A and B are shown apart, each in its own frame.
Chain A
Amino acid sequence: MDTLSPAVIQTSSDPLQRIYRQFRRSTSGKIGLVLTLGLVVLALLAPLLRPFDAATARNFAARLKAPSLEFLMGTDGLGRDLLTLVWYGLRISLLVSLIAVGIGLLIGTLLGLVAGYFRGRLDTVIGWFTDILLAFPSVLLAIAVATVFGSSLRSVMFAVGIIQIPTFIRLTRSMVLSLREREFVQTARAFGAGSGRIIFRHILPSSLAPLIVQATLSLGTATLEAAGLGFLGLGAQPPTPELGTMLSDSFRNGYSMSSPWTIIFPGLMITLIVLAFNLLGDGLRDALDPRSNP
């Protein structure tokens, strides 16, 4: 059976090497990879390099201080060091987007596989569901979901996860539709492989490349959407330092214009995270899926 695995059929040389070569040619991919890895390492090292207890860190005497040598990014409305907050905000953002995309990827891919493989009424229903989710204004959907489950980081992950689902359904379904008639799948079926085996051993592995690309790009949008919910006040509860919530605190408590550093730096960090994911996604697309450029 292994001889029928799609990767072997697709290309004679080692696919990993081909991918690596392609990826190395992509400047944006390299920058994105370095940036993403850098951010991840920074996020992981935060507790070591800059220990911080959000529950007790505050210093009212140093409220809203402009950036200085002592506070490189200035301080926030509670007199906390903004650099530390933004640093920890990075951890939260990465975590939220990873889990949200995980939810979207898992549910979306499963539904897409089922719809594309079994077709029929199931496909119609899932297609209907996808159309609805796509036509429903996604920000409003996220707001509604987050409001139902209350303001917490968990409901943000869930809300953002839900609005990622239709993209993955669409993508997987179209992949499956083109794959299921392909020779290796037909052969597997002729050898008596069950649906589950065909889906998970043959079809899914061949769809991985575009899924990985899409997931990376979705990490970027998920970061933006999660921060957006935070900005609307639907996200993390204090003392969790969340980037969108920091922006919202500054804007709503009326010091965004007099202390602009309280909006500049958290926003920059969001942009940097999203940029890293987008660059990496671009690079991966060049490497894994060269035809689907842009």
Chain B
Amino acid sequence: MLQYIAKRLLGLVPVIFGITLLVFAFLHLIPGDPVTAMVGERSTPEQIEILRKQMGLDQPLPLQYLFFLIGLLRLDFGTSIVTNVPVIVEIGQRWPASFELSVAAMLFAVLVGIPAGILAAVKKDSWLDNVAMIGSLVGVSMPVYWLGLLLIYLFAVYLGWLPPSGRLGVSQGFEFQAITGFYILDAILQGNVLVLKDVLAHLVLPAIALGTIPLAIVARLTRSAMLEVLSQDYIRTARAKGVLEKWVIFKHALKNALLPVITIIGLQFGALLSGAILTETIFSWPGLGSWIYSAILARDYPVVQGGVVFISITFVLINLLVDLSYALFDPRIQYR
């Protein structure tokens, strides 16, 4: 097992190298530079030239790439051109926001999707099944940002039940210290119920918007996996033996049906971490995606490079974890 992990980790090295190459190449193919992006109307060509030199942007590209790689090896992602903040510090502040949102979205997807999928499978071809399946098809077909806008319109503007954007309100937030950056955890650690409620309220709409597609996928997959398992011999035997139906479903069927579901949860989670740009934009969520996106627009090279590499590594590691988790759920799989 350990050997397998080591082998897989080693296999990641060329992929990550390729990612650094790709992000660097694309970034420098994009015309324009950070100075004009910052100064706007007031920039003059001479000024841009001077500042390019100052920022080391006039160095040959291979050399710049080399510096970037050497920095990476020393875990130094460089410093943002726009804000002068070390990229690693910014990542440290933003990834908890992204992570919290992704977890909330995934929880929403799993807590609603798995029961819905089970129900649909158990009551195959009933109206419930139909509603669930049509619902999930519509779910995967909706643009996230559109759903987000509709949710804001309905729940924040029209009904006024939930806050429209951001991660934390103001009236309760003052004595609150961000220790870990995970606001839910921080609020619990400090026993601050008001802040906890506020944080949760801010999470609801973006989590629903972001979680709808995984929800639909999880529901569909759970249903089909359940259907397959329910038709297997050992389930029929169990039923014939008079085992309680509830028990059949929970103990036997669900356990076996979960394997593909877990795979998809892992994959979707990785996708959520990196794909939340649009959701973050709509909800002014201070996460990684919208940060990297605005860095592309601002030509903030170190931020884009560091951010993308970080996200990609996370994504690849999550996939690895998913693969490894098979072992927990399916002892038949051997790792060599």
Please indicate the chain B residues that have their CB under 8 angstroms from the CB of A267 in the complex: 142-143, 146, 149-150
Please tell me if A247 contacts chain B, counting CB pairs below 8 Å. yes
Q: Is the CB of B278 within 8 A of A28?
A: no
Q: Which of B13-21, B38-46, B193-201, B240-248 contacts A (4 or more CB under 8 A)?
A: B13-21
| Residues from 193 to 209 in A contacting B, C-beta threshold 8 Å | none
In angstroms, Cα B148 to Cα A247, docked, is 12
Q: Is the CB of A136 within 8 A of B14?
A: no
| Residues from 116 to 163 in B contacting A, C-beta threshold 8 Å | 133, 137-138, 140-146, 149-150, 152-153, 157
Please indicate the chain B residues that have their CB under 8 angstroms from the CB of A232 in the complex: 277-278, 281, 293
Q: Is the CB of A228 within 8 A of B278?
A: yes
Q: Is the CB of A135 within 8 A of B312?
A: yes
Please tell me if B174 contacts chain A, counting CB pairs below 8 Å. no
Q: Is the CB of B143 within 8 A of A271?
A: yes
Interface centre among A129, A137, A143 (most CB of B within 10 A): A137
Please tell me if B30 contacts chain A, counting CB pairs below 8 Å. yes
Q: Is the CB of A138 within 8 A of B22?
A: no
In angstroms, Cα B14 to Cα A131, docked, is 9
Cβ-closest chain A residue relative to B156: A257
Q: Mark A220-251, 1 if CB is under 8 A from B, else 0.
A: 10001001100110000000000010010001
A220 to chain B, nearest CB (A): 7
The A interface, classified by DSSP as helix, strand, loop or mixed, is helix
In angstroms, Cα B153 to Cα A44, docked, is 34
Q: Mark A262-294, 1 if CB is under 8 A from B, else 0.
A: 011001001110110011001000000000011
| Residues from 65 to 84 in A contacting B, C-beta threshold 8 Å | none
Q: Which of A52-60, A103-111, A144-152, A165-173 contacts B (4 or more CB under 8 A)?
A: A144-152
Q: Is the CB of B149 within 8 A of A137?
A: no
Please tell me if A47 contacts chain B, counting CB pairs below 8 Å. no
Q: Knowing A148-B30, A294-B220, say if A263 contacts B146 (CB, 8 Å).
A: yes
| Residues from 290 to 304 in B contacting A, C-beta threshold 8 Å | 292-293, 296
Q: Is the CB of A231 within 8 A of B293?
A: no
Please tell me if A49 contacts chain B, counting CB pairs below 8 Å. no
Q: Is the CB of A264 within 8 A of B293?
A: no
Q: Knowing A135-B316, A137-B312, A294-B220, say if A224 contacts B275 (CB, 8 Å).
A: no
Q: Mark B56-97, 1 if CB is under 8 A from A, else 0.
A: 000000000000000000000000000000000000000000
Please tell me if A1 contacts chain B, counting CB pairs below 8 Å. no
Q: Is the CB of A136 within 8 A of B19?
A: yes
Please indicate the chain B residues that have their CB under 8 angstroms from the CB of A282 in the complex: 137
Q: Knowing A131-B15, A244-B143, A247-B145, say if A139 contacts B275 (CB, 8 Å).
A: yes
Q: Is the CB of B292 within 8 A of A140?
A: yes
Please tell me if A256 contacts chain B, counting CB pairs below 8 Å. yes
Q: Knowing A131-B18, A228-B278, say if A137 contacts B220 (CB, 8 Å).
A: no
Please tell me if A260 contacts chain B, counting CB pairs below 8 Å. yes
Please tell me if B262 contacts chain A, counting CB pairs below 8 Å. no
Please tell me if A128 contacts chain B, counting CB pairs below 8 Å. yes
In angstroms, Cα B277 to Cα A114, docked, is 35
Please tell me if A132 contacts chain B, counting CB pairs below 8 Å. yes
Name the one of B150, B281, B292, B308 contacting A263, with C-beta atoms under 8 angstroms.
B150
Q: Is the CB of A132 within 8 A of B19?
A: yes
Q: Is the CB of B141 within 8 A of A274?
A: yes
In angstroms, Cα B18 to Cα A129, docked, is 8
Q: Is the CB of A139 within 8 A of B145?
A: no
Q: Knowing A135-B19, A260-B153, say if A275 contacts B138 (CB, 8 Å).
A: yes
Residues of B within 8 A of A (CB): 14-16, 18-19, 22-23, 26-27, 29-31, 133, 137-138, 140-146, 149-150, 152-153, 157, 220-221, 223-225, 274-275, 277-278, 281-282, 289, 292-293, 296, 308, 311-312, 315-316
A-B contact pairs, 13 of them (CB 8 A): A131-B18, A132-B15, A132-B19, A136-B23, A140-B274, A147-B30, A147-B296, A231-B145, A247-B143, A271-B143, A275-B141, A279-B137, A294-B221
